[in-house]
């Protein structure tokens, strides 16, 4: 340890400076954390200085979450040893007992109920190495088909749309540095200003260049504040809005016929179908003035270059897959992809939201974006893993459907790694009932999350500063996060835990790794030749080049920042238009007259397990609330700041009111960062998108009433 004094007056000693990466969102900002020990009243108390480190994505910026992320690492609430449930209470136990208990219980349950009686539930915060190993562990060590992960709730609509339309799914089809080169940008259902704050300067730079920015959101968000045009759409109506824009573009003769002819299929059918679309009716259904829709369509259609980006506002819908595809129709019809200043971007969410979805955590997927239902893919991956392809299970079910199988007791044991499903699933009443019915629940986490509280065994894991691994940011850039601190207490790395369980299950020979890099080297081979090909990426390159884009097929290849320059990834090289109208969700009734939507705020992250352990972040927003329009509040006789109950057909939650003129009158907005009685998911609905199994988080019919003693 370095002990040089940096402040002579206070004689602070500098213990440590390390470069690391923020554990939160998909930008994956690089930072340095300097630890100082200052003598205060005779005691050594640590102080920390956090600074952004220049890199290609965040260019050295950090947002308030990144600035304070270290506080969770040093939280006194960190789990330091395994906990086992005895007589109803969680008590400390040794790793030996924990791992032995897991192996015994899982084997028992599989002997009684079959291999598929055990499920695994992963997350998009896990490194590529852990995500990859979790898929292998489930299929090889457990022999179960049931694995899925929280990315199902996050990326699946855009991912499946990208695969269908382009033949490939990667968050952005362009490098971030291209954003200021676009003449028109549409931001649909994405609140970059609060969710990827360090990206905002790219958009501000674009504005300085004269870029016309259109925001589509039911609320005037901090992102809408930078817009030249804000379409305050009714929740659930994005597909229809995109169709209306397309019709305007077609009628104005702004379609790019040469691009359409050379690079796409399916346009003629779309043209025919568009004929029957009535623009006045569509505008009315979307809750947006037709004139504004026209302005937006013409601005995008007439611009030489342009980008469309979507996030969860458009995607977390029961027609989310189709809604994204209808926006992609706009991209293809105007030929705005595959050249500088153009493209489509699904703004990914979690730190490894992108990589987490490429290497086998999904029910139907094998590493490198291979399919578990394709014979060639199975044979290839089985050969890398050294097993008979016949032993690989088939495809399982999506995250929420796994919860239904748990509720039906078809799945009897569950291992959760990197998620808090009892807060983040829709319709959480059913989810909690199900998890309580499990014969055996194991949760690996840094904290006693709401889900960990229900577990029979809780496994303490290392935090972002304490382990090594790669994460893939929203651009598809793979980044190496190196270990900065030793593992505290008895915490272990996630991958190490999986290897130890595999060993006890008698599969140790297939899980021999000394360090994360060994797993990455196997992942490189397993992904080789797949859509998400990581073969050419090595730890050494990641150290030297500050990250490498996938696909990267050989060690001398650069990796592609801009995709689809000459061809799309389908076999014929063409992209496909999407026909078929989508009217969107519209289910309000007299009993439930308002639309409940939800999302994020700047200071908190997902279910809040981590950010609530950071005092500086927790203090910014201590409890949950519902945003509602002044006239809606008046109609329901609700005062600002009072307790209200929001109820749907599925359940209710209780929060304080926050009256804001920036939201539509027919819509309520509630942050998703709190559990228990304040959890918005007590009222969300279980319906899933038929294509990608994404829940319709962003729309539920509800009523609201003040909770007042009369
Ligand atoms: N501060 C913070 N940042 C985060 C996260 C976090 O928890 N906190 N989480 C990360 C993760 S995992 C994710 S997935 C991303 C999410 O990033 P975003 O998708 O940008 O975040 P959300 O707030 O869920 O939704 C975005 C916007 O959609 C709007 N919206 C709601 N319904 C509709 C609709 O029907 N149509 C349209 N067009 N818009 C609608 C909401 O008003 C909201 O402003 O953020 C990442 N970054
Ligand atoms: N109503 C509503 N619900 C939503 C959404 C919404 O917009 N609205 N968004 C959805 C989306 S996009 C997402 S991504 C999900 C996220 O939902 P969750 O997966 O529940 O999200 P987190 O709160 O990040 O939970 C991660 C847990 O894993 C732990 N953890 C973090 N890093 C690691 C690690 O490296 N290893 C291990 N073992 N544990 C770790 C954290 O402490 C935390 O307890 O929520 C979804 N739910
Ligand atoms: S939360 Fe996102 S934008 Fe903020 S510092 Fe972390 S990675 Fe960067
Ligand atoms: Mo997400």
**514 contact partners, CB below 8 Å, separation of at least 6:** none
28 Cα–ligand 2 center, Å? 16
Mean pLDDT of 406-425: 98
221 Cα–ligand 1 center, Å? 10
For the chain, give every domain's residue range. Answer: 4-73, 156-346, 594-706
Residue 45 clears pLDDT 90, i.e. is over it: no
CATH topology of domain 156-346: Dimethylsulfoxide Reductase; domain 2 (3.40.228)
Q: Identify whether 551 is preceded by a cis peptide bond (ω within 30 of 0).
A: yes
- Ligand 3 lined by 24 (C-beta under 6 Å): yes
pLDDT band of residue 12 (cuts 50, 70, 90) is: low
> DSSP character for 175?
-
- Per residue in 527-583, pLDDT (tens digit) is 999 999 999 999 999 999 999 999 999 999 988 889 999 999 999 999 999 998 778
DSSP one-letter string for 350-388: BTTTTGGGTSS-STTEEGGGEETT-HHHHHHHHHHHTS-
- Ligand 2 lined by 420 (C-beta under 6 Å): yes
pLDDT band of residue 2 (cuts 50, 70, 90) is: very low
Sign of CA dihedral 351, 353, 357, 361: positive
- Per residue in 625-658, pLDDT (tens digit) is 999 999 999 999 999 999 999 999 999 999 999 9
pLDDT for position 4:
41
3 state SS of 565: coil
pLDDT-wise least confident of 25-39, 49-63, 157-171, 232-246: 25-39
pLDDT band of residue 214 (cuts 50, 70, 90) is: very high
The label of the residue with tokens 């019919």 reads: 701
- Ligand 3 lined by 610 (C-beta under 6 Å): no
pLDDT band of residue 13 (cuts 50, 70, 90) is: low
Residue 199 clears pLDDT 60, i.e. is over it: yes
Task: Give the number of the atom of ligand 3 that is nearest the alpha carbon of residue 199.
Answer: 3
26 Cα–ligand 3 center, Å? 7
The label of the residue with tokens 């179960």 reads: 144
Residue 130 clears pLDDT 60, i.e. is over it: yes
In this structure, the residue with its CA closest to atom 2 of ligand 3 is 25
- Ligand 2 lined by 356 (C-beta under 6 Å): no
pLDDT band of residue 700 (cuts 50, 70, 90) is: very high
Mean pLDDT for all residues in the chain: 95
195 Cα–ligand 2 center, Å? 14
Per the CATH hierarchy, to which homologous superfamily does domain 4-73 belong?
Answer: ADC-like domains (2.20.25.90)
Task: Give the number of the atom of ligand 2 that is nearest the alpha carbon of residue 600.
Answer: 7
Q: Percentages helix, strand, coil for the chain, rounded to the nearest 5?
A: 35, 20, 45
Q: Please, which contacts does 419-422 make with residues 24 or more away whose CB atoms are closer than 8 Å?
A: 419/121, 419/122, 419/123, 419/149, 419/150, 419/451, 420/445, 420/449, 420/450, 420/451, 420/606, 420/607, 420/609, 420/675, 421/121, 421/150, 421/451, 422/450, 422/451, 422/454, 422/675
CATH topology of domain 594-706: Barwin-like endoglucanases (2.40.40)
Residue 3 clears pLDDT 90, i.e. is over it: no
In this structure, the residue with its CA closest to atom 4 of ligand 3 is 63
- Ligand 2 lined by 72 (C-beta under 6 Å): no
pLDDT for position 155:
87
């Amino acid at each position: 340890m370095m002990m040089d004094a940096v402040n002579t007056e206070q004689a602070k000693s500098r213990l440590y400076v390390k470069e690391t990466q923020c554990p939160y969102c998909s930008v994956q900002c690089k930072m340095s954390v300097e630890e100082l020990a200052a003598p205060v009243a005779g005691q050594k108390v640590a102080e920390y200085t956090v600074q952004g480190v220049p890199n290609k994505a965040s260019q050295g910026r950090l947002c308030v979450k990144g600035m304070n992320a270290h506080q969770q690492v040093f939280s006194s609430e960190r789990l330091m040893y395994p906990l086992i449930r005895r007589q109803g209470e969680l008590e400390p136990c040794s790793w030996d007992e924990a791992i032995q208990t897991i192996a015994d219980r899982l084997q028992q349950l599989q002997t009684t109920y079959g291999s598929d009686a055990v499920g695994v539930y992963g997350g998009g915060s896990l490194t590529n190495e852990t995500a990859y190993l979790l898929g292998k562990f489930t299929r090889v060590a457990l022999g179960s088909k049931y694995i899925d992960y929280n990315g199902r709730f996050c990326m699946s609509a855009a991912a499946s749309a990208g695969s269908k339309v382009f033949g490939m799914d990667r968050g952005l089809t362009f490098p971030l540095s291209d954003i200021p080169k676009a003449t028109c940008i549409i931001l649909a259902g994405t609140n970059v200003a609060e969710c990827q704050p360090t990206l905002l300067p790219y958009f501000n730079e674009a504005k300085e260049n004269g870029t016309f920015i259109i925001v589509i959101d039911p609320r005037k968000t901090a992102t809408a504040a930078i817009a030249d045009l804000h379409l305050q759409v009714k929740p659930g109506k994005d597909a229809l809005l995109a169709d209306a824009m397309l019709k305007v573009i077609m009628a104005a003769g702004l379609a790019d016929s040469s691009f359409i002819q050379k690079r796409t299929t399916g346009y003629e059918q779309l043209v025919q179908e568009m004929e029957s679309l009535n623009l006045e009716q569509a505008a009315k259904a979307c809750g947006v003035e037709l004139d504004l829709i026209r302005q937006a369509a013409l601005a995008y259609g007439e611009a030489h270059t342009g980008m469309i980006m979507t996030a969860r506002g458009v995607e977390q819908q029961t027609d989310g897959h189709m809604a994204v595809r209808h926006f992609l129709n706009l991209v293809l019809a105007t030929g705005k992809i595959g050249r500088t200043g153009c493209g489509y971007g699904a703004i990914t969410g979690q730190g490894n939201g992108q990589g987490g979805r490429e290497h086998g955590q999904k029910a139907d997927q094998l590493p490198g974006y291979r399919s578990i239902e394709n014979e060639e893919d199975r044979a290839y991956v089985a050969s890398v893993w050294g097993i008979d392809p016949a032993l690989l299970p088939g495809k399982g079910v999506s995250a929420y459907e796994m919860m239904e199988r748990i509720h039906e007791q078809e799945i009897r044991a569950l291992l959760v790694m990197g998620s808090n499903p009892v807060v983040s699933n829709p319709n959480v009443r059913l989810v909690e009932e199900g998890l309580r019915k499990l014969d055996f629940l194991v949760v690996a986490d840094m904290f006693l999350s709401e889900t960990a509280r229900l577990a029979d065994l809780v496994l303490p894991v290392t935090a972002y500063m304490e382990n090594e691994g790669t994460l893939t940011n929203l651009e598809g850039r793979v980044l190496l996060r190196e270990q900065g601190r030793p593992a505290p207490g008895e915490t272990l790395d996630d991958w190490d835990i999986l290897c130890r369980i595999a060993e006890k299950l008698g599969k140790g020979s297939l899980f021999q790794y000394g360090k994360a890099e060994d797993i990455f080297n196997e992942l490189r081979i397993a992904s080789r030749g797949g859509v998400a090909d990581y073969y050419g990426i090595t730890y050494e390159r990641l150290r030297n080049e500050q990250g490498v884009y996938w696909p990267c097929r050989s060690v001398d290849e650069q990796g592609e920042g801009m995709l689809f320059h000459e061809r799309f990834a389908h076999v014929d090289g063409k992209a496909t238009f999407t026909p078929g109208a989508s009217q969107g969700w519209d289910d309000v009734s007299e009993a439930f007259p308002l639309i409940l939507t939800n999302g994020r705020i700047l200071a908190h992250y997902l279910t809040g397990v981590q950010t609530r352990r950071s005092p500086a972040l927790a203090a910014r927003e201590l409890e949950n609330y519902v945003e509602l329009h002044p006239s809606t509040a008046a109609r329901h006789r609700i005062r600002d700041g009072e307790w209200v109950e929001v109820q749907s057909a599925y359940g209710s939650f209780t929060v304080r009111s926050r009256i804001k003129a920036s939201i539509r009158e027919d819509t309520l907005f509630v942050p998703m960062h709190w559990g228990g009685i304040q959890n918005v998911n007590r009222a969300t609905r279980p319906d899933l998108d038929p294509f990608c199994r994404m829940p319709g988080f962003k729309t539920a019919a509800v009523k609201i009433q003040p909770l007042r003693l009369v």
